[in-house]
A and B are shown apart, each in its own frame.
Chain A
Amino acid sequence: MKALNRKLWRDLWRMKGQVFAITLVVVSGVATFIMFISTMDSISLTRNRFYRDYHFADVFVNLKRAPESLKEKIQNVPGVHQVETRVSAYVKLDIKGFPEPVTARIISVPDDGKPLLNRLYIRKGRLADPAKDNEVVINESFAQAHGFDPGDRFAAIIHGKWKELTITGIALSPEFVLIMRPEAMSPDFKHYGILWMGRKALGKSYEMDGAFNDVVLTLYPEANVSDVLAGIDHIVERYGGFGAYARKDQISHRLLNEEFRQLQRSSEIFPTIFICVAAFLLNVVMSRTINTQREQIAALKAFGYTNLDVGIHYAKLVVLIISAGLAGGIAAGVWFGKMLGGIYMEVYRFPHLLYTLHPGVIVAAVLISIVSALVGTLHSLWRAAKQPPAEAMRPEPPAQYRVTLIEKTGIGRWLSQPSRIIARNVERKPVRTFLSIIGIAVACATMISSGFFKDAVAFMVNVQFVRSQKEDMKVAFTEPTSRRALYELKELPGVHHAEIFRTVPARFKFGNRSYKTAINGIEPESRLHLLLDTDLNAISLPSSGIVLNDYLGKFLGVQAGDLLMVEALEGSKPVRQVPVVALVKLYLGVMGYMDVTALNRLMGEGDAISGAYLVTDPLYSGKLYRNFINMPRVSGTVLRRNEIRNFHDVQAKGMLFFTFIATLMACSIAFGVVYNSARIALSERSRELSSLRVLGYTRGEISYILLGELGLITLIAIPLGFLIGYWLCAYIAQALASDLFRVPLVIETKTYALAASVVLASAAVSGLIVRHKLDHLDLVEVLKTRE
């Protein structure tokens, strides 16, 4: 077998261009596979370790105020393991040199400095002194956004009192891997932070000595979560409980889970595409190679090599080609995985990324690639092995051609002979032509799917922040307040227009489905907060009944006209049947909307408001911000312009990286497919092309025959790629839809144009390489021998 092995290496060397093109595709496929899966495994491992080592709670409860003695009752709920009571509040911050409104959640740390649950990982500095009410630990992303270090100071309005605080440490918590303000659409590290202060000091500030307003707890593994939640709700009800919720509804955890789900989908979609393309390329190259070597195969068999020997010989060739791709793919995948992990770590805060690559993942990558490549080449191998030697040694008869369908339509009359050659070649190998077209189309589709994210985000931002929410800022009050507060706001200098809103946490029930969210009560003729129907036209808010967004409607199975059970989770907690009046489009979040008057009627409250939307004069911004810091009623302010920027920022990095990877891949697929098609066509037809050269055709004219065919295939592939790209995006949009956001299926023309350009450029590069080879055809040599 030694001679055969030498032949193997020489064959490989001879096909080096094609081997390189296939390797590129395999590298792309394996690298994406490894990247997505290893990133998912790594973040998952990192998260699980962090949760375990820092005792992340299972259940979270907020309430108004309860005596410490209630803790025992909670502890006694069956299934509850550990209970920790805390004091927690939202505070406004006053940061020197940063006039924009900043809010924070301040949470107590037990006086011994060791929380039982949701422990802190101190990155820098130390915990706050429990006795001192001017020392805090702050979360890392907030510290980084403002360049804070231990020892730095800022002020906070704590229970209405302005207080200067000293940072003693910078920390991470499993409770706040991703930090997002409850009402925000995306994380905002600059305008929202987490502060930790000693329980004694914080309790004193909020008059919570011997009392608490926040509970976290862990459960025994066998505990029934919904029973525990119901039990706790029952206990805390008279203490102003806002409804206990499980870890799966905890915002940081939920966002992480969503991210995992996206990664999971991506790791299913993209590597599959690449493996298929690689298998196809191998199939084409192998069947071609075997065709050119039929005489050699016959000779080998005549010498006594068995079919198995011959089969193994070619299988080795396949495995060798794949191996190079595998090695490169694994290396690139680890590299990309670490890069992607790094990008996640900027948003999701863990102490360290524990990068992990399970051997199983590598084994899977190896098996998937080799098996799919072998399956792809099985047909050619089988053909090679089964041919009787005598038959194989005879030269192949001239290929069979037919007049093409296109010509039969009469168009043929206007075709030159070279154009006819192109048409007949394309029609003669319909399967191969089709697969080449599909391959290039897939490259085009991959590009579209990467551009799609950018388009979708831009569209979401436009709908959410330009067409629907038109306010410059949203001012929230610490608690439901009389409508009179609006006039106070309206009188502030720089406020042009103000509209009230009322937000009530609620649970919706329909049939056996239920969903916990909030009802947003807005003014019926609101200028600042428009509701859009599913065609994105503004609709007016009916004076009674509730409007749900389409996703929630689908989730609950309700339609306009149905009666929805609404259970308010605030105030007197009324439960009412409310008719659903319409479904509206909302890409971010899940909400119910009501006329504010109707909502207050439902709540049995007077004209209470939770805050106001404002249109303001930018010249007065600084002054307004100061006013809000000093108004005890105002709990926080959200600027629309920050929301837009944050939304872009958070998406941008990940998206940029993804676009980069997708572009690399699309190029490698397009190049791989076009180059291989061109190389194969060249070796199959060099004799024919040389004959034409001998007959007096110029290099340009014979290039037209070969490259014209590729051009034709590419041009057919691009519109098909648009179609596949659209389907792929539709699938991705559907797969990624969650209650956090829905991805609109929006693909801009420029995304299509970019995809087409990348494909055309890759095709042009491979065309040029082949053209270079065409220019060096040895006319005499090709004519002498018969293939």
Chain B
Amino acid sequence: MIGKEGEPNNPGEVVFQVRDLTKIYAMGEVEVHALRGVNLELYSGELVVLLGPSGSGKSTLLNILGGLDTATGGDVTYRGKTLTNADERELTEYRRFHVGFVFQFYNLIPSLTARENVAVVTEIAQNPMTPEEALQLVGLTERLDHFPAQLSGGEQQRVAIARAISKNPEVLLCDEPTGALDSKTGIVVLEALDRINRELGTATAIITHNADIAGMADRVIHLSNGRITDIKANAVKKSPGELQW
């Protein structure tokens, strides 16, 4: 199924290499096959959208790529290093220095202001930008000292993006970043992600079940029932402003 048209138009270096990845959850006496042999490469600088219905395995895949979960079988390498055998300490280090995460529900620390939420990451990163720079990239220079409770959902998500990119990560993994937002606010958030991808060249993977978002991707990967069913490169990328849902 994975044909020539699945290759990106201008492939960069390989960031992730995924080979025969499987994941089985034991749910009581039932085994759930979340991933049934996934093969995939992600390249530096590209923006990928993972599409699929709920239960298709896209979150599991993202969690394993992000070092949040371990695989049952197969291999994942990040820039030539195997993640699949990494221990707890190595995974923490990997998350700390290389990956940025954005979640559906933002996961901001309620007791910290926008600036401080970003500082949470910049304080422990190796070569971070300043929190102010990160927040400027997502257009929040005006709201640096607001607490999460004082921000709208879209603003909170943009703080989360600023937080994720502030360490200058190699990859940015976004799990339903617009899932909790209305379409107008969602587009603002996507614009922020698009800008980061273009300006910083951060490889970005966005999970969504919203097919309309796929228009802004370099490649669109369809998952279903734990397998990749289709990978398509967009000949023309739309800007988020052109998207509608």
User: Distance (Å) between the CB of B88 and the closest chain A CB?
Assistant: 8
> Contacts of A421 on B, CB cut-off 8 Å?
109, 111-112
Q: Decide yes or no: A417 and B68 within 8 Å by CB, A688-B109, A696-B97 being known contacts.
A: no
Task: Specify the chain B residue showing the minimal Cβ separation from A705.
Answer: B109
Residues B147 and A694 in contact, CB atoms below 8 Å apart: no
Q: Which of B66, B89, B110, B121 contacts A688 (CB under 8 A)?
A: B110
Binds A, one of B39-47, B78-86, B99-107, B195-203: B99-107
A261 within 8 A of B: no
Bound complex: CA A400 to CA B148 (Å): 8
User: Distance (Å) between the CB of A688 and the closest chain B CB?
Assistant: 5
B69 within 8 A of A: yes
Task: Specify the chain A residue showing the minimal Cβ separation from B103.
Answer: A783
B96 within 8 A of A: yes
Interface residues of B, CB < 8 Å — how many?
34
> Contacts of B108 on A, CB cut-off 8 Å?
398, 691
Q: Which of A420, A428, A690, A780 contacts B112 (CB under 8 A)?
A: A420
* A681-710 residues at the B interface, CB under 8 angstroms: 687-688, 690-699, 701
Supplied contacts A398-B148, A695-B121, A698-B89, 4 more A-B pairs, CB within 8 Å: A417-B116, A424-B112, A694-B66, A779-B68
A425 within 8 A of B: yes
B92 within 8 A of A: yes
B95 within 8 A of A: yes
> Contacts of B105 on A, CB cut-off 8 Å?
783, 786
Task: Specify the chain B residue showing the minimal Cβ separation from A404.
Answer: B111
> Contacts of B103 on A, CB cut-off 8 Å?
691, 783
Residues A417 and B63 in contact, CB atoms below 8 Å apart: no
> Contacts of B163 on A, CB cut-off 8 Å?
695
Bound complex: CA A698 to CA B66 (Å): 15
> Contacts of A403 on B, CB cut-off 8 Å?
113
Residues B63 and A780 in contact, CB atoms below 8 Å apart: yes
A511 within 8 A of B: no
Subset of 11 A-B contacts with CB under 8 Å:
A398-B108, A398-B110, A398-B147, A417-B112, A421-B111, A687-B107, A695-B96, A696-B96, A780-B69, A783-B107, A784-B59
Q: Which of B69, B110, B120, B148 contacts A692 (CB under 8 A)?
A: B120
A434 within 8 A of B: no
Q: Which of A428, A688, A696 contacts B124 (CB under 8 A)?
A: A696
Q: Decide yes or no: A398 and B92 within 8 Å by CB, A420-B112, A694-B101, A695-B163 being known contacts.
A: no
> Contacts of B148 on A, CB cut-off 8 Å?
398
* A118-143 residues at the B interface, CB under 8 angstroms: none
A397 within 8 A of B: yes
Main secondary structure of the interface of A (DSSP, over half): helix
Residues A401 and B121 in contact, CB atoms below 8 Å apart: no
A1 within 8 A of B: no
> Contacts of A699 on B, CB cut-off 8 Å?
92
> Contacts of A397 on B, CB cut-off 8 Å?
149
A69 within 8 A of B: no
User: Distance (Å) between the CB of A777 and the closest chain B CB?
Assistant: 11
Q: Which of A688, A695, A698 contacts B101 (CB under 8 A)?
A: A695
For A696, A697, A699, A779, which residue has the most chain B Cβ atoms within 10 angstroms? A696
Residues 52-80 of B, flagged 1 when their CB comes within 8 A of A and 0 if not, give 00000001000100101100000000000
Residues on B close to A: CB < 8 A? 59, 63, 66, 68-69, 89, 92-93, 95-97, 99, 101, 103, 105, 107-113, 116, 119-121, 123-125, 147-149, 163, 175
A572 within 8 A of B: no
Bound complex: CA A669 to CA B99 (Å): 44
Residues B110 and A399 in contact, CB atoms below 8 Å apart: yes
Q: Which of A401, A418, A696, A698 contacts B110 (CB under 8 A)?
A: A401
Residues on A close to B: CB < 8 A? 397-403, 416-418, 420-421, 424-425, 428, 687-688, 690-699, 701, 779-780, 783-784, 786
Residues B111 and A424 in contact, CB atoms below 8 Å apart: yes
Residues B95 and A695 in contact, CB atoms below 8 Å apart: yes
Q: Which of A400, A697, A783 contacts B96 (CB under 8 A)?
A: A697
Bound complex: CA A786 to CA B180 (Å): 11
Q: Decide yes or no: A417 and B95 within 8 Å by CB, A687-B107, A691-B107 being known contacts.
A: no
Bound complex: CA A84 to CA B109 (Å): 86
> Contacts of B116 on A, CB cut-off 8 Å?
417, 420
Task: Specify the chain B residue showing the minimal Cβ separation from A696.
Answer: B96
User: Distance (Å) between the CB of A399 and the closest chain B CB?
Assistant: 5
Please give me the 3 A-B residue pairs with the lowest Cβ-Cβ distance, nearest first.
A696-B96, A691-B107, A424-B111
Residues B92 and A693 in contact, CB atoms below 8 Å apart: yes
Bound complex: CA A690 to CA B110 (Å): 13
> Contacts of B124 on A, CB cut-off 8 Å?
696-697, 701
Bound complex: CA A786 to CA B66 (Å): 20
> Contacts of A696 on B, CB cut-off 8 Å?
92-93, 95-97, 99, 121, 124-125
> Contacts of B59 on A, CB cut-off 8 Å?
784
Bound complex: CA A408 to CA B203 (Å): 40
Task: Specify the chain B residue showing the minimal Cβ separation from A785.
Answer: B105
Bound complex: CA A76 to CA B13 (Å): 121
Bound complex: CA A720 to CA B108 (Å): 35
User: Distance (Å) between the CB of B192 and the closest chain A CB?
Assistant: 18
> Contacts of A420 on B, CB cut-off 8 Å?
111-112, 116
> Contacts of B92 on A, CB cut-off 8 Å?
693, 696-699
Residues A417 and B110 in contact, CB atoms below 8 Å apart: no
Q: Decide yes or no: A417 and B149 within 8 Å by CB, A687-B107, A688-B109, A692-B109 being known contacts.
A: no
Residues A694 and B95 in contact, CB atoms below 8 Å apart: yes
Residues B109 and A416 in contact, CB atoms below 8 Å apart: no
> Contacts of A417 on B, CB cut-off 8 Å?
109, 112, 116, 119-120, 123
For A417, A418, A690, A779, which residue has the most chain B Cβ atoms within 10 angstroms? A417
User: Distance (Å) between the CB of B27 and the closest chain A CB?
Assistant: 12
Q: Decide yes or no: A416 and B123 within 8 Å by CB, A401-B110, A692-B109, A694-B95 being known contacts.
A: yes
Bound complex: CA A399 to CA B175 (Å): 24
Residues A401 and B111 in contact, CB atoms below 8 Å apart: yes
Task: Specify the chain B residue showing the minimal Cβ separation from A416.
Answer: B123
Bound complex: CA A307 to CA B97 (Å): 52
Bound complex: CA A401 to CA B109 (Å): 10
Q: Which of B107, B109, B125 contacts A694 (CB under 8 A)?
A: B107
Residues A780 and B68 in contact, CB atoms below 8 Å apart: yes
> Contacts of A695 on B, CB cut-off 8 Å?
95-96, 101, 120-121, 163
Task: Specify the chain B residue showing the minimal Cβ separation from A428.
Answer: B111
> Contacts of B125 on A, CB cut-off 8 Å?
696
Bound complex: CA A418 to CA B66 (Å): 23
> Contacts of A691 on B, CB cut-off 8 Å?
103, 107-109
Bound complex: CA A691 to CA B111 (Å): 13
Task: Specify the chain B residue showing the minimal Cβ separation from A695.
Answer: B121
Bound complex: CA A701 to CA B95 (Å): 14
Bound complex: CA A403 to CA B116 (Å): 11
Q: Decide yes or no: A399 and B109 within 8 Å by CB, A417-B119, A694-B101, A695-B101 being known contacts.
A: no
Bound complex: CA A397 to CA B99 (Å): 29
Bound complex: CA A240 to CA B80 (Å): 112
User: Distance (Å) between the CB of B30 and the closest chain A CB?
Assistant: 17
Bound complex: CA A502 to CA B66 (Å): 93
Residues B101 and A400 in contact, CB atoms below 8 Å apart: no
User: Distance (Å) between the CB of B216 and the closest chain A CB?
Assistant: 24
> Contacts of A694 on B, CB cut-off 8 Å?
66, 68, 95, 101, 107
User: Distance (Å) between the CB of A698 and the closest chain B CB?
Assistant: 5
> Contacts of B120 on A, CB cut-off 8 Å?
417-418, 692, 695
> Contacts of A688 on B, CB cut-off 8 Å?
107, 109-110
Residues A400 and B149 in contact, CB atoms below 8 Å apart: yes
Bound complex: CA A695 to CA B97 (Å): 9
> Contacts of A399 on B, CB cut-off 8 Å?
110-111, 149
User: Distance (Å) between the CB of A408 and the closest chain B CB?
Assistant: 13
User: Distance (Å) between the CB of A190 and the closest chain B CB?
Assistant: 67
Bound complex: CA A688 to CA B175 (Å): 17
Bound complex: CA A779 to CA B88 (Å): 12
User: Distance (Å) between the CB of B101 and the closest chain A CB?
Assistant: 6
User: Distance (Å) between the CB of A419 and the closest chain B CB?
Assistant: 11
User: Distance (Å) between the CB of A418 and the closest chain B CB?
Assistant: 8
Bound complex: CA A428 to CA B148 (Å): 15
Bound complex: CA A23 to CA B148 (Å): 38
